[in-house]
Structures are given as C-alpha cells and as structure tokens.
C-alpha cells in the first residue's frame, strides 16, 4: 500500500526513523482512546510514597491552599484529606473535580 498518507516519518542522522508526525486531529482522537492512563510523574510520586491525591496535586503544580480554596475548606483540612490512604468516595469525587481529573484516577 503506497497510497497517500497523512503520517510523516522523520529519519534521524543515522537514517533510521526518529519521529512520527501525525495530524493534530488524529493525535486528539488517539488521546481520547487512552484518557484513562496515569501520567508517569504521578506514578513515580506514588512509588516514592505520596498518596494518589498528593501525587496528582503536585503533578498539576497546585498548592494545598489552592486546592483547598477550590473545595471551600481550609488548607489544614485539605492536608488531612490528602494524607488519607483510603479517602471516602465522596471525598475523592470532590477532590477530583477540584483537580480537573476523573475520580477513578484517584483510586490507585
């Protein structure tokens, strides 16, 4: 099949494929298929001992005070929720909404 394609392969200095360029629409479609994936940074932070909530907050570059403000609670109240190894479902759902992620992404 040598028909036209919207994918471009860019070879490196050694002549071997180094990059693939695809149209943005195809990239977005592929991302939607895999929107349940957890970023490596989040997983690494959890391996280092952070809770899922803390790992996501740090990955997103937010402070505890910022997330607490979105939740309408104090920073110290949020810190207690963030340090919980098994937060309640309702708590996970509220925090996930404040972080802009799905609540099941906090069930790690």
Number of domains in the chain: 1
pLDDT exceeds 70 at position 38: yes
Residue 47 forms part of a structural domain = yes
Mean pLDDT confidence for 44-60? 96
Residue 1: pLDDT band (50, 70, 90) is very low
**Rounded Cα distance, 89 and 104, in Å:** 9
Contacts of 30 (CB under 8 A, 6+ apart): 22
In a domain, 6, yes or no: no
Residue 32 lies in a domain: no
CATH number at residue 94: 1.10.260.40
Beta strands in 1-108 (DSSP E): 8-11, 17-21
Is 12 domain-assigned?
no
Percent of the chain with pLDDT over 90: 67
In a domain, 35, yes or no: no
**Torsions phi, psi of 43, nearest 5?**
-60, -45
Domain with 74, as residue range(s), is 40-106
Q: Tell me which of 2-6, 30-34, 52-56, 57-61 is least confident.
A: 2-6
Is residue 39 over pLDDT 70?
yes
CA distance 38 to 44: 10
pLDDT at 89 over 80: yes
């Amino acid at each position: 099949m040598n028909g036209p394609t919207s994918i471009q392969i860019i070879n490196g200095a050694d002549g071997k494929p180094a990059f693939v360029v695809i149209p943005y629409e195809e990239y977005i479609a592929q991302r939607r298929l895999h929107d349940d994936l957890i970023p490596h940074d989040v997983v690494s932070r959890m391996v280092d001992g952070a809770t899922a909530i803390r790992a996501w907050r740090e990955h997103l570059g937010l402070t505890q005070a910022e997330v607490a403000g979105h939740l309408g609670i104090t920073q110290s109240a949020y810190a207690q929720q963030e340090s919980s190894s098994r937060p309640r479902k309702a708590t996970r759902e509220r925090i996930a909404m404040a972080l802009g992620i799905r609540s099941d992404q906090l069930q790690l």
